[in-house]
Amino acid sequence: MTDRTPNIPEVVEEVRALFERYETALETKDVEVLDATFWRSPHTIRYALHENGYGFDEIHAHRVRRPPGPGIKEKRIRLEILTLGRDFATTNLEFKVRGKDLIGRQSQTLVKFDDVGWKVVAAHVSTVSEALW
């Protein structure tokens, strides 16, 4: 039977470190780190605010086209990390969208592969009006 113990502390810290590295790379447009965070597979999906990436190659192409500059996150509201066992995790972040009356939501599903380590296999970014909160 596969161990699905929730939130083993050292596994949560591994995922948190990866999440923080990814967030820094978003701010600095470090495409190498952004790409290294995602699974290099045609099955990887990333839904973003202005594009949908189906497969690693599309996701990479969007990253390269994105202009440099500050990201959309003005401040974090809440970060939730859930790990199940030692090889599956989700991250969910709520944030205030820079300069807008919107709340952003970002989620990632991660799998730890034997040969390449932790990789995001699916991601989603969306917004909702603050008025709904």
Grouped pLDDT means (10 residues each) for the chain, 133 residues: 93 98 94 98 96 97 86 94 98 96 96 98 92 59
Domain ranges of the chain: 9-132
Give the global pTM. 0.93
Architecture of domain 9-132: Roll (3.10)
Tell me, what's the pLDDT at 132? 60
Q: How many Å apart are CA 91 and CA 96, to the nearest integer? A: 17
Tell me, what's the pLDDT at 121? 98
Tell me, what's the pLDDT at 67? 82
- The CA-to-CA distance between both ends of the chain, in Å, stands at 41
